[in-house]
Structure 1
Amino acid sequence: MVKKSLLLFRTVRHLKLKQIIYQFYYRLKPRKNLASYKPNSVIGLTFNALRFTTAYEITGLAGANCSFTFLNLKKDFAGTINWDYQGYGKLWNYNLQYFNYLHQTDITVELKQQWLHDIGSWLNIGKLKLEPYPVALRAINTIRFLSTEKLSDPLIIEDLYGQLDYLNDNLEFHLLGNHLLEDAFALFMGSSVFNNSTWAETSKRILYAELNEQILNDGGHFELSPMYHQIILFRVLELIDWYSKVEDYDCDFLKFVTSKAAEMLKWLELITFSNGDIPHFNDSAEGIAFTSAELFAFARQLNIKPNETLQLNGSGYRKYVSPKYECVVDAGDVGPSYQPGHSHSDMLSFVLYSKGVPIIVDTGTSTYQIGTKRTYERSTNAHNTVELPGCNQSEVWGGFRVGRRAEIEITKNTETALTAGHNGYRKKNVANHERNFIFADDVVSIIDVITGADELSLKALFHFHPNCKVEIQNPNKVFVNNIATIEFTGKNKLELQEYELANGYNKYLTATCLTVEFKKQLQTEITLL
């Protein structure tokens, strides 16, 4: 009990006071159904359709027989949809509520309207509770659907207004981060379609403040997940798209969000591999966000160009490129300090591609469900860095919590070298880990030095892509396909074992992990053939 209390304290102490206040406020606040937020009369409630340049189509989420597939898990409701279905967990149910499938062309408009009527009836009587995040995403999708199809459905419009009014009254100040941004994007869009100046003022104030804080000096999103960066970038591009076509738009605000889009585009351009992949650092997975290529295409449609003055900096990521390889290194802190829910214990991890082919990869994210798989995927053991026996660099726990955090310091940062260290093991073993990368044309050299743990057997971990055939050639050398050789100096033992690579949510591929045991210091030379 005492240990759990101390862990909770080490977690909560990083929160903003605003978050704590709103946590209590929303827990004590009486919960209302949608009917309580709807206008007393629909007379005078006008829906002003928006116009979009960036058209896109979603496929494979819903079937006309009321079957739904999210996170690679399918559920057939046989005609009667349970909007509160929890059989596959909360995130699956949220995806059901988001209504992204409104953009499927193989589902009739009439059936989509029927589904919106149905979920509205559940929300009106409290059979399904209102929650800000799914409300925000559903509102955005509904507005786009009604606008694109040129529909005037009084019942849907009335429900939509009520949900936006609820959102305005329940903005996620207790969470902040990408949740509050999504709330603001939805409310700002709603303010335009319903000519609501109060919503416009509130949402615009949030967007100014949060985009300034959440977009770092190198254009990266501060939750340090390439996937969430893609998600937020699309929202910014979508806002620019429709808002630039609204009469009497605020020129200064449009200029502001366009500049943020240009910064975010450059970060994404820098972090994306030449084959279009993103590194799956922190909570990142395939099949959730628009790809980098799609986002670059959207930006070109809007005539928005990347801010070429930026280089990777504040996000902590560094990328090194030669004719033979691309390597991305994570040398950033857990972030943001008050909302680290999507962070992993992965300092000084790296991902390596050769000529567009993945070699050493991140294990990725396959679930948000609390349990052994979620715990493993956030652990140091699941990343390409050095692990002390049974220790995580940072106290990742629960589904989205972090207690004590490792702190990183970069001491050398050039075009061909990076030296950084962290103190994540200081509490339990009074140990520090320093990792020195040296990048030559066809060789990546890594020197790991651990101080303060002289007697401990340490582990350097290398997670290979499933297409890699990894063989130990001799006591000091490993051969990877016809792509690379890896040679070690200072190792005690090499061992190959299987691990599960997250191939999207709830999908796995069996791959090989190389564990290198050593003491004090290890030198690794990866030679690209």
Structure 2
Amino acid sequence: MRLKRASMAEVFYRAKHRIENKQLRRRAFSEGLTLPVPCIPRDDWAGLLMPDIQVGVDSIEPEELLKGKIYTLNTGEDSIGQFETRWRNIFSGDIKYNGALADIRAIWEPARLQHLAKLIIAGQISQPKDVSRIEKAIRDGILDWLEKNPFLLGPHYISPMECGLRLPVFVYALITRNHWSDEDRDMLLDAVYKHGWWVAGRLSLYASLGNHTICESIGLIFAGAVYRKTAEGKKWLEKGISLLQQELSHQVMEDGGPNEQSFNYHRFVLDLYRLAAGFLEKNGLYDCTLWKPRLTKGENFLKTFMDASGNVPSIGDSDDGYALAPCVYPKRGDDDFMETRPCVTFPESGYTVIQSAKRLLFTFDHGSLGMAPLYNHGHADALSISLSVAGEQVLVDSGTYRYNGEPEWRRYFKGTRAHNTVNIDGADQAVQETGFIWSHPYKAELLSIIEKNGSIILEAGHDGYARLKHPVYHKRTVILLDASCFVIRDLFSGKGNHNFELNFHLHPDASVQSEDAWLSIRKNNAKVNTDGLVKSNIL
């Protein structure tokens, strides 16, 4: 499926990697994998500065981390440990990680070492009596990981994205820890160089451009900054900056929305850009001024979707990843968000948000399937809606569940039935080829928007079912009659007999009760009444 969408340049790029992997595999089991690492003076890295970091409302939790807490995506540590032990001494390219064995995303999570990133931040703000314990935990954690995961062996070198996300942690530890031995620092410098080398040769390019590319660029920037006075390090730094510059307008659209059509990955990508910009500017490596207007648009996009409790709809894929660590993130800027209009449309990314004094927040999705040509992280959710009342999520996007190991549920959560829209003849609006590849993408568009005398009328449509034997075009009209009354009208035009399935997904904590002629949806202090009737027009 990837080859069908690949250019000749990408075919050669992938073939080159296959050949190199075979060569590396032979070396791993013959003379051993050795990579000459240049020796650099302390001054090349000791003066580097960390970017400004913000801490969220939750505590840094140093005590729990010092007692061994790691982030596991709700997967048992025993399961992760067993998988790592089984494949520890196997060349990474030979590891089998189909979903029957493990969710590889869960295996990778602790190896991002973000529990140690959080400890490093805690060490910067902790009382002096805690510093020695934190220093020891960071040193032991990193050196233990390096000892258990020799270069290119085991599951944690499969994805260059994962290597890219580890590099900031290595560099933070290198430049902020004061009591490491020369031998320990040499091991860490060795890991920084080898990770940088591996990422530089395995970049996600061509059809694979996406948030992986951003993670890898971050890794190149941090490794390149440490080795910037070597020929390789200078190339890494320049390549990382160049890719971020290129991808900013590709991944963050002109209206600030996500090209990948995933809100979680949008947050992830924006934080990675802020992380890179903060590091580069603080160390005088690059002026990121031209990046900031687009990043501000991205922040304002997400803020527009945020209800009174800070909730944002779970639109598109989510792997629950963080640029740094949970509740720890790079400084996101002090730009004030002044959007107060009752109806805001994002024409490029394809969303409209209706809000009234933050008590009611209604979203309408009339955007594309995702980032072409594979549409990896998009869901078939054309014309889907969500509703939050008084900070309580009522009508929700079903989210992602998980990527690996549950193919039937992966298909469901990506599919049309899992969203607040209409499914026709049991088919999705596009065709799921794999867990990450779509074909037959639909075209969705906002047809009209009218605001008059406090009322708002939105009309949008999509052609996802034009591929049926008897094609059908779906048009949805959303009418806000006043500050709290919506009418939703679905119109289907085409020929033949069809089955139409309309879904509205409630938050798991919401309850439904019958009250006279109404159905009442309640969630804590929020209440939504509906007449209980579904009316559609079919032509």
State whether TM-score is above 0.5.
yes
Q: 2:113 aligns with which of 99, 102, 105?
A: 99
Residue 449 of structure 1 deviates from its aligned partner by 0.7
Shift of 1:417: 2.1
TM-score (structure 2 length as normaliser): 0.79
Specify the alignment match of 1:163 in structure 2: 195
Judging changes above 3 Å, is the alpha-carbon distance between structure 1 residues 289 and 239 closer, same or farther for their aligned structure 2 residues?
closer
CA contact (8 A) 2:518 2:530 kept: yes
Counterpart residue type for residue 439 of structure 2:
G
Task: Assess, with a 3 A threshold, how the Cα gap between structure 1 residues 54 and 271 changes in structure 2: closer, same or farther.
Answer: same
Secondary structure at the residue paired with 2:76? Answer: strand
Relative to 1, partners in 2 of residues 1:41 and 1:265: Cα closer, same or farther, differing over 3 Å? closer
Q: Alpha-carbon deviation of 1:250?
A: 3.2
Between the aligned partners of 1:171 and 1:373, the Cα distance in structure 2 is 30
Are 1:278 and 2:312 counterparts?
A: yes
Change (3 A) 1:258 1:128: same
- Counterpart secondary structure, 1:82: helix
Contact 1:67 1:76 in 2 (8 A): no
From the superposition, tell whether residues 445 and 184 of structure 1 become closer, same or farther in structure 2 (CA, over 3 Å).
same
- Listed as ranges, the matches of 1:48-447 within 5 Å are 48=46, 49-56=48-55, 68-76=70-78, 82=84, 88-105=102-119, 108-121=134-147, 122-124=149-151, 126-128=153-155, 130=157, 131-150=159-178, 153-173=185-205, 175-195=208-228, 196-247=233-284, 249-251=285-287, 254-284=288-318, 298-300=331-333, 303-305=334-336, 312-323=346-357, 324-369=359-404, 370-415=406-451, 416-428=456-468, 429-440=470-481, 441-447=483-489
Identity of aligned residues (%): 21
CA distance in 2, matches of 1:167, 1:77: 27
Is the CA contact 2:71–2:114 (under 8 Å) kept in the aligned structure 1? no
Q: Supply the distance in 1 between the matched residues of 2:219 and 2:364 (Cα, whole angstroms).
A: 34
Equivalent residue number for residue 503 of structure 1:
none
The residue type equivalent to 1:432 in the other structure is Y
Residue in structure 1 matched with residue 125 of structure 2 by the alignment: none
Give the deviation of 1:104 after TM superposition: 3.6
Contact kept, 8 Å, 2:261 with 2:316, in 1: the verdict is yes
Give 1 or 2: higher helix fraction.
Answer: 2
Cα 1:16/1:447, change in 2 over 3 Å? farther
Q: 1:170 to 1:457 in 2, by over 3 A?
A: closer
1-structure distance, mates of 2:138, 2:79:
15
Secondary structure at the counterpart of residue 176 of structure 2: helix
Q: Which moved more, 1:183-192 or 1:38-47?
A: 38-47
Once structures 1 and 2 are overlaid, which stretch shifts more, 148-157 or 283-292? Answer: 283-292
Structure-1 separation of matches of 2:105 and 2:202: 20
Q: CA deviation at 1:331?
A: 0.7
Aligned partner of 2:310: which letter? Answer: G
Counterpart secondary structure, 1:318? strand
Please report how far the alpha carbon of residue 60 of structure 1 lies from its aligned counterpart in structure 2 after TM superposition. Answer: 9.1
Gaps of 5+ in 1: 1-7, 492-517, 522-529
Segments of 5+ residues of structure 2 without an aligned counterpart are 89-96, 123-132
Q: Tell me if structure 1 keeps the 8 A contact 2:108–2:156.
A: no
- Deviation, structure 1 residue 169: 1.6
Task: Give the partner amino acid of 2:198.
Answer: Y
For 2:161, the aligned partner's letter is Y
Tell me if structure 1 keeps the 8 A contact 2:5–2:373: yes
Distance 1:54 1:520 in 2: 54
Residues 445 and 36 of structure 1, relative CA distance in 2, 3 Å threshold: same
1:436 is paired with a residue of what secondary structure? strand
Distance 2:139 2:310 in 1: 36
Per-residue Cα deviation, 1:234-273 (whole angstroms, up to 9, x for no partner): 11222222222213x433xx11222232121111211222
Contact 1:68 1:76 in 2 (8 A): no
- CA shift digits 1:104-131 (9 cap, x unpaired): 4388433433343344343337345623
Aligned residues: 479
Find the partner of 1:42 among 39, 43, 58: 39
Are residues 427 and 43 of structure 1, via their aligned partners in 2, closer, same or farther at CA, if it must alter by over 3 Å? closer
Alpha-carbon distance change, 223 to 25 in structure 1, aligned in 2, over 3 angstroms: same
Q: 1:88-112: per-residue Cα shift (whole Å, max 9, x none)? A: 4110111122111112438843343
SS at match of 1:232: helix
TM-score by length of 1: 0.81
Alpha-carbon RMSD = 3.4
8 A Cα contact 1:37 1:163, kept in partner: no
Deviates more, 1:191-200 or 1:206-215: 191-200
State whether residues 271 and 332 of structure 2, in contact with CA within 8 Å, keep that contact through their aligned partners in structure 1. Answer: no
Residue 494 of structure 1 corresponds to: none
Larger mean CA deviation between 149-158 and 429-438 belongs to 149-158
SS of the residue aligned with 1:29? helix
